[in-house]
Structure 1
Amino acid sequence: GVVADFTGSPTSGTSPLTVQFTDTSTGSPTMWAWNFGDGGTDMVANPTHAYSNPGTYTVSLTASSQTGGSSTKTRVGYITVDPSSGIIADFVGVPTSGNVPLTVQFSDRSIGGPTMWAWDFGDGSSDLVANPSHVFRNPGSYTVKLTASNTQSTNSVTKAGYITASQPGPGGSIKITYAPDRSQVYLNNQLQGETKFLQTFWINNIPGGVNQLRLTKPGFTDYIRDISLGAGKVAEIIADMRIKPTTNGILSVYTYPAGSSVYVDGVLAGTGPLWLADVTPGVHALRVTAPEYLDWNQQITVMGSGSVTYVTAALYPSWWTPMYGYVMVSSLPGNGMAYLDGVSQGMTPLTLSQVKPGVHTVRVELTGYQPYEQQVSVMEGRTAYVIAQMGQDGITPMSVMAVGNNPPTS
C-alpha cells in the first residue's frame, strides 16, 4: 500500500520564505493532499509554497491511490520562518544634471524585497512606482527621497541636492527627431548620450559656429554632418542610418531592470539595453542576470543577412514566486507510469500542473515495453506535449511543442 513521506527545502529562513516540497511516498500514489500549516493547501505531487509570516509551521501530506489505500505523514514544526532582516532603501537616477526640461529615470536599488515605494522628487511631485521617470521643469537643486516598504519593514533614503536642473544658455540647439534606437550621439567628438525609440534627442546650449554631429551604432553606417548654429537657432536632424550588408545577424536585447548583465552562450556580452551586431546565425543560449532578481534564460534563434532579432528580458524580483508551466503526457499504448525528474506522477494520459519553467526529464514505463525518456523545455504559462511511442524494439522519440499562453483545458 501507499506509505506517505515528503521533504521540503529549505526548512528555515527569513520571510517571505519559498519552500519546494517533494513527495517521497512509496506505493505509487496518484493523489496528494498537502496542508502547509498556515492555512495553505495544495493537491499536486511536488508543490511550491510561500510562507509570508514569521512562525513555526507543521506540514502534513496525505498520499493515496485507488489500489494502495491512503496514508498521512505529519512533520511537526517542520518549517521555521524568521522575521525579515529589513529593507535597506537605495536608488539611482540618470542623468543627475542637465538643462530644463530635465527628464530623469529613477531606479529602485533597495534590498530586502520591497513591494511598495513612495518617491518625493523635491519639486512638489511624487510617485508610487518602483522605477519612475520624472521631468524637472524649473532650474534648481533638488533633494530626492525614497521610502521603500513591505508588510514587515520600511526604510527611507534621502539624497540632498541630488538633481541639478539648469537654465539653457543663449547658444543654439540640435533636435534629433529620428535615429536608430540606442545610437550614440557625439558632438565635436564628445559623447552626449544615446537615442531612444520614438523619443526626440536634444543637445542644448551649443556654442555658435560650425559643430560636427556624429551618430554611431554597431552594424549601421555612421551619420556625420557639420552643423552651423547661431544663438537661439535649432537644427532639426533626421539621421538616416542604414544597416551594413552582412551575412550574420543582429541581436537586440532590452532588459528590466536596465543595466542587467547579458550573457550569450555563457559569455558576458554587456549590459542591457544591448545591441549586438555580427552575431553568427543559429540557436544561442541567452541569460540575463541582475542582483536581487531571478535569472532569465531562453534559447533564441538569430537569422542571418542582417536580420534583427528583438528580445525583451523582464526579470522577476528574487522574492517573486514564478509562474508555472504544464506538461501533458500520453503514451501509445496507454496506462504507462509517468515520471517527472525521477518522481512518479501517475498513469498516462495525464497533465502535470505547476511545473517550474526550465528543462525537465519525462520518463514513461510500461511492463513489456522499452522505457521512454525525453527532455522537455517548460515555459511559463505554456504547455509542453510529450507523446511516448512505446515499443519493444527500441525508443522512438517524438517532438515536443510549447504552444499557447493558457493552461490546458479538458
Structure 2
Amino acid sequence: MAAEEKPTETETLIHGVTLAPVTETTKEITKDPTTEPTREPTTARTTEPVTEKPTQIITAEPTTEKPVTKETAVTVTVTEIPGPKVGWLTIISTPTGAEVTIDGKNAGLTPVTGREVGEGSHAIAVSLSGFETYHAEKSVAAGEQAAVDATLKEIVIPTTVPTTQVTIQPEPTVTPPPCIGCDKGWIRVYCNVNGATVSFDQLSSGCTIANGYCDTEVSTTGTAFKTFTVQKPGYEIFTGSVSSWPAKGQTVTLYSTLVPVQSSGNIQVNSQPSGAVVTLDGGTWQYTPATFTSASTGTHFLKITLNGYQQYGTSVTVSPGQTSTVNAYLTPNPPQPRTGSLNIVTSPKGADIYVDGTYYAESPFIVTNLAPGSHVLRMYKAGFDEYMSTVTVNAGQQTPVSYTFTPQRGPVGSLDVFSTPAGSAVYLDGNYMGHTPYGGSLDIPSVLSGTHIILLRQQDYNDYTQTVNVRSGEIITVSAQLTPNAPSPHPDTTGQIMVVSTPSGAELFIDNSFKGITPVTIPDLPAGSHVVMVRQAGYTDATQTVTVTGGQVTPVSLSLAPVPVTKATPLSMLSIISAIALAGLAMAFFAKRQ
C-alpha cells in the first residue's frame, strides 16, 4: 500500500493579519502537455488504485519495451507563487479623521488607503466623537481592491427646555418680581479625545469630555464667555472663541480638536521582490528592505514601485516609540495588450483622481496601463461629497466613468490647499492627506467643522503651519508660501526633480536608473545635469536633459506619443497575377518531370 501523506501547514503574519494556514499536499497526476502544471507539489505513480484523499492515482499505460513490474514513483515539484492570499481595503468617512478598526485592531484615521488584509470577511468599525459608530462587514477576495465609504450620523440630543408651571391665582393677580440669573442655557463642547477638560476664560469652571462632548450650564443674563480652552496631558492645548451666547433654553455648540504632542516612531518596509523604490509621503525614498526612522506619529502613505511591476500604495499608522511593519507583495505587469484604462469625466470638472491610493490628475482624464481586475477609484473636490467605488478594468478595453458630485451637507466643510513650490506634503491635524499637485491644488473634503491645524512640508524648505477654522458648507483656501532653509556655510549640493507625464502612470528613469511611477518627486539628486526618461507600453519613450540646482525643485513635464500603428499593405493586382503565373509554371514543370 502507498504510504499515507501528511500535509504541512504554514502560517503567514502580514500587516498585523494572521492569514489562513496554507496546506502543501503531494498529489499524483498524469502529465498532460495541454494542461497547465499545478502549483502544488505533484507525484505521478504506477501503482494500484487508492481512494484516500487528496491523493489521485493514475495508472500509466504499459509499454512493450519496458513492462512495469514494480512500484515506481516520480515526484515533480512545482514552486508555489510567492505571497499570501491577501486583498486590500480603502476606507473613507464623512467627516474625515474618524478612527478605524479592522477586526478589532486599530487601523488609523480615515482616509485609510490600501490596507492589506487576509482574504475573507472583515469587521469594520468607524467612530468619531459626537457621531454614531459605523459598523460594516466587508468580504475581500485574494487580489481584490475593496472599498468602504462610511457616512457618519451626528448624535442629536434633544435640548431639555425647563418647563414653566402656571399657577392660577385669584384676583387680583400679583406679578412676581423678575428673577435675575434664573434663565438658563447650555454650552456644549465637542472634542475628539475623551477625558479632556474644558474651561472658559481661563477659569477653573467647566466640564470633562465624555462620549465625545460635555455640557456647561450658564445663565443667559450673566457675563458671556469670550474663549474656551480644552486640554489633556500628551496633547497640545486647544483654545477657541465662544461664537455666541445661548438664549433661554438654548444650546450653543462648539468644536475642538486635540493634536498629540509630536513624537515619533519607525516604519519598516519589506517587498517581494526586494529592491523596490519606496517613498514616504511622496518625499524621502529608499530601496527595500527599508527603515524610516523618526517618522512623526499619525498616518502616513507609502508608495512602492519596481520596474516591471504594478505600483503598490498603502497607508500606515505610526505610534510613539513603536515600529510599524509593511510587507508588500508586488504584482508583475501583465503583458501588452492585456492592460486596460479608465476614461473619467466628472461634473463639475477639476476633481482629484486617485486609483488604488495613487494620485493621477484632475478630471477629465484617462488613466492608462491598469492591470485587469478590481481597482479602487477615489475622487474628491472641495465643497462636494467625496466619491469612492470599486471599478473593474478589462484587458484591452477602456472603461468609462461619469459622475456628478453632490454638494456637501452636515457639519463639514472643505479645504483647498495651494503651495509654492508645488509638490509639498500636506498634513491635517498630523495625518498625511496628499501632495499639492503641479499647476493645481489639493482638495480635502469632509473636514469636521471647527479648528484644525494644516502643516505643509518639503525638503530644503521650512515647515509651513496654519490654523484654520472650518465652517459647515464652506471652502477654506490655504495658500502656503514655503521659505527655503536658511543658508548654511556649506552650499546645498542636492536638489529635487518633480516629474509629470501625459499620460501619467509612466515608468521614470533618471540616468538609466528606475525611480518610480509618474507623477513623482525625486529628492536628493546631485546638482548638475541628469537625463530624465519616461516609458509606458504603447508609447514611444520621452527623454529630456535637465539641470538640477542645489536646494531647489526642478519641474519636468513630458508627453508620450502613441506608437504608430503599422497597417499591412494590400497586394496589388499585378503582384497577384504574377504569383498565379509562377504557380502555374511550377506545376507544369513538375508534371512534365513526372
Sort the TM-score into its range (normalised by shorter chain). Answer: 0.3 to 0.5
Q: Which of these two proteins has the greater Rg computed from alpha carbons?
A: 2
TM-score (norm 1): 0.40
Higher share in strand: 1
TM-score (norm 2): 0.29
